[in-house]
Structures are given as C-alpha cells and as structure tokens.
C-alpha cells in the first residue's frame, strides 16, 4: 500500500512540476492579450454589429445562433431520456389512481427540516428563475436554471412526501403538460424566422435585441425561458415517478412477498 501511495505522489508531483515549467518557461498560453482572429469573428457577430444578439454572454448566443441545430439535438437527447423513463413507468388509468392513493399517513421528516424546506424552496424558485432569465447576460441559461428548479420539488418530496406535492396540484400529468408547453415554445421560436424570410433558428434581426431599453438578446431569452420550463417540469415528472413506493409497484406487478 505504501509503495502505491509513493508512486501516486511521484506522478502528481512530476505532473505539477511539468505543468509549472510549461506555463512559466515555455509560455504555452502566450503573453499576448490581443483577441485572436476566430475570437474577433465571434465577438463581431454575436456582441457587436447589427446582425448580432448583442448578448454580453457570447457563449449563449453562439450556442443558440451558430450551432443552434446542434444545441437542439443535444436537448433532444435529454428529452429522449425523459421519454424513456416515462415509458419504463407506464401505467394504466387504474394503476395511476392506485399510485396516487394514500393508504397510510406518509412519514414526514422532523419540523426543523420541514420549516427550512419551506423557506429554501421559495429561494430556489427565485434563484433558478434568475439563472434562466439572465441566461443572455451572465453564465447560466435555460438548462441550468431548469435543473436548479427541479431541486425544489425534489426537496418537497424528501421532506414531506410525493403525496403532498400531488395534493398541491403538481402531479405527473401537470408536469408533462408544462414540459410539452416548453418544447412547443422552443419549436415555435425556432420556426418563427421562416415566416419573415429568415432561416430556421435565426436570431437577428428578426427578434428585437432590446425591448423598452432592456437588453433581451433577441430570441435567447425565449429559448432560455422555454428550456427552463421544459427541463424543470421534465425532471419533476421523473422524480415523481421515482418516488412511487416500492410496495405499490410490487402490488401492481403482482410480485409475491
């Protein structure tokens, strides 16, 4: 064991020394502070100029403007995963009712956890909305905001129960409807430019970069909002399915004890 640790330490130290040497002596990162030609092209076409989203978060505008189709298919992979898990858990109408039915009072966590969850859930909703709606200004965006949003129902499921969430109106069907609205929104925003002689998923100058003096980055804010909705609701649906008690599934599948 001791020899193994020694070898690991030697490898780490050698690597660190080589990296330091490369950075300090060989100047692999270069000393020039100027913008390289490719960077200049991207900046000119995404931040400056008339045919740009004028979004200071250049990465977002490149993701949705220059490689929009690529991003669309990346998103599609996630939604295929959600569809896959929904298919694994597919139930008939009676079974759905059975799964929603509360037999005995579900065990909840202590009052300390429940009260903190109440406060934290509100804060998470605000923070996730801020991450998504500032997606064209700061790092973040629809997917990240939606993932943060999905933490809120997860916390409610952990501290209270799945039935509390369903009792307050957030059941699987509602989550799927919200997710579909999000997907439909993304598709519509992508198709709108075709109506005014643009290309599919084109941003400028079809969508205005500013509304009422506020920078909204053209189509970026719509994409971010709908992606936020779709990802958050999709995750919520999967979490609701995963939190179905094991006994109920054993009953549905007819597993003998």
Partner 1 sequence: MSVLFYIGALLIVIGALCDFFGALGLLRFPNFYVRLHAATVGIIGGAAVPLFGVALLALGADFLPNRYAIAGASFITGVIVLLASPAGSHALAYAAHRAKLVEWEPKVDHLGEVRESD
Task: By CB under 8 A, name the binding residues for partner 1.
Answer: 109-110, 112-113, 116-117, 119-120, 123-124, 127, 138, 159
Minimal distance in Å, beta carbon 113 to partner 1?
5
Residue 237 contacts by C-beta under 8 Å, 6 or more apart in sequence? 82, 86, 172, 175, 176, 179
- Local structure of 28: helix, strand or coil: coil
Q: Distance (Å, rounded) from C-alpha 101 to C-alpha 247? A: 12
Residue 32 or 107 with smaller CB distance to partner 1: 107
Minimal distance in Å, beta carbon 81 to partner 1?
28
Minimal distance in Å, beta carbon 224 to partner 1?
18
Q: Which of 136, 141, 171, 139 is nearest to 153 (CA)?
A: 171
Residue 151 or 170 with smaller CB distance to partner 1: 151
Minimal distance in Å, beta carbon 155 to partner 1?
9
CB 133 within 8 A of CB 221: yes
Return the DSSP state at 106: P
Residue 25 or 110 with smaller CB distance to partner 1: 110
Torsions phi, psi for 210 (to 5 deg): -130, 140
Torsions phi, psi for 215 (to 5 deg): -75, 120
Minimal distance in Å, beta carbon 118 to partner 1?
10
Residue 148 or 178 with smaller CB distance to partner 1: 148
Residue 80 or 119 with smaller CB distance to partner 1: 119
Residue 117 or 224 with smaller CB distance to partner 1: 117
Q: Distance (Å, rounded) from C-alpha 60 to C-alpha 135? A: 7
Q: Distance (Å, rounded) from C-alpha 220 to C-alpha 47? A: 13
The rounded Cα 223 to chain-centroid distance in angstroms is 12
Minimal distance in Å, beta carbon 109 to partner 1?
6
CB 158 within 8 A of CB 199: no
Residue 131 or 241 with smaller CB distance to partner 1: 131
Q: Which long-range contacts (CB under 8 A, 24 or more apart) does 85-90 make?
A: 85/238, 85/241, 86/176, 86/237, 86/238, 86/241, 89/241, 89/244
Minimal distance in Å, beta carbon 173 to partner 1?
30
């Amino acid at each position: 064991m001791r020899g193994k640790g020694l070898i690991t330490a030697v490898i780490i130290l050698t690597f660190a020394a080589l990296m330091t040497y490369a950075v300090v002596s060989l100047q692999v990162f270069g000393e020039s502070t100027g913008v390289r030609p490719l960077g200049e092209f991207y900046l000119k076409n995404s931040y400056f100029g008339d045919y740009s989203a004028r979004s200071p978060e250049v990465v977002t505008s490149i993701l949705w403007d220059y490689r929009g189709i690529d991003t669309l298919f990346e998103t599609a992979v996630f939604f295929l995963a959600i569809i896959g898990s929904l298919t694994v858990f597919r139930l008939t109408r009676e079974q759905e009712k059975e799964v929603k039915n509360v037999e005995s009072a579900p065990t909840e966590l202590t009052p300390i956890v429940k009260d903190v969850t109440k406060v934290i859930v509100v804060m998470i909703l605000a923070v996730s909305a801020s991450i998504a709606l500032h997606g064209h200004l700061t790092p973040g965006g629809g997917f990240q905001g939606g993932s943060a949003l999905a933490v809120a129902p997860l916390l409610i499921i952990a501290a209270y129960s799945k039935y509390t969430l369903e009792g307050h109106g957030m059941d699987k069907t509602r989550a799927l409807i919200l997710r579909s609205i999000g997907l439909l929104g993304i598709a519509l925003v992508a198709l709108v430019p075709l109506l005014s002689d643009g290309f599919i998923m084109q941003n400028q100058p079809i969508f205005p970069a500013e509304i009422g003096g506020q920078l909204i980055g053209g189509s970026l804010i719509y994409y971010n909002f709908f992606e936020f909705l779709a990802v958050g609701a999709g995750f919520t649906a999967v979490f609701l399915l995963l939190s179905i008690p094991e006994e109920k599934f054993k009953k549905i599948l007819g597993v003998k004890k």
